Amino acid sequence: RLLGQSELRLEKSHSTHLTVLIEQLVANTGHTLRDLVAVAVSDGPGSYTGLRIGAAAAKGLCFALDIPLIAVGTLPALAHQVATRTPRADSYLYAPMLDARRQEVYTALYHVDGRELAAPAPLILTPEAWAEQLAHHAVLFFGSGAAKFQPLVSDNPNAAFLADVQPSAVSVGELALGAYQRQEFQDVAYYEPFYLKEVYTTTPRSVIN
């Protein structure tokens, strides 16, 4: 059962707030960090910086406490979150979309029971995106990138949209419980988030007067 949760919707603030939130949450449940038996982290895709900070914090806890690390994909967690809280849930396939800037999203497709029907991938949004699936099934689109897709398929009765859906730590925890029971753990020393795309770094150009 859920003992507590704490979530903040703040831009670019992971490094400032994460450690404090963890300590406060554990204390509010009447436990200590030593009572933890595993740590789950959102695996991505998502913000490169956010994923790195989350992974570093999770790995640090696992090393310090000698407990296993569980990685839960952001897209399946988002699909689980919506599918388990949607009326007539079995009427839809589930396509979470995370904004990847411009006309691109990170997306995947899931059955109501969580089965992966299309693997997570970057997708350039066009009216033909997901055309084969929309020809045969009602598909529910949601997440930070879904609003960009809605105008492109507004005339398709099989395309449904759910607004204001944000990833939730609760859904990550719900999927992590199953992974813990199956003992699906990461190698703490070598774990890296699922960025989906390569991380590119650039050197600032010199300013020539």
pTM: 0.89
Predicted pLDDT of residue 176: 98
CATH number listed for the domain at residues 14-73+167-181: 3.30.420.40
Cα 72 to Cα 79: distance, rounded to the nearest angstrom? 12
The model's pLDDT over 138-184, given as tens digits with 9 standing for 90+, comes to: 999 999 999 999 999 999 999 999 999 999 999 999 999 999 999 99
Quick one: CATH architecture of 74-162? 2-Layer Sandwich (3.30)
Radius of gyration of the chain (CA): 19
Beta strands in 131-184 (DSSP E): 139-142, 159-162
The domain segmentation of the chain, as residue ranges, is: 14-73+167-181, 74-162
Domains 14-73+167-181 and 74-162 are alike in CATH topology:
yes
The model's pLDDT over 18-70, given as tens digits with 9 standing for 90+, comes to: 888 999 999 999 999 999 999 999 999 998 888 999 999 999 999 999 999 99
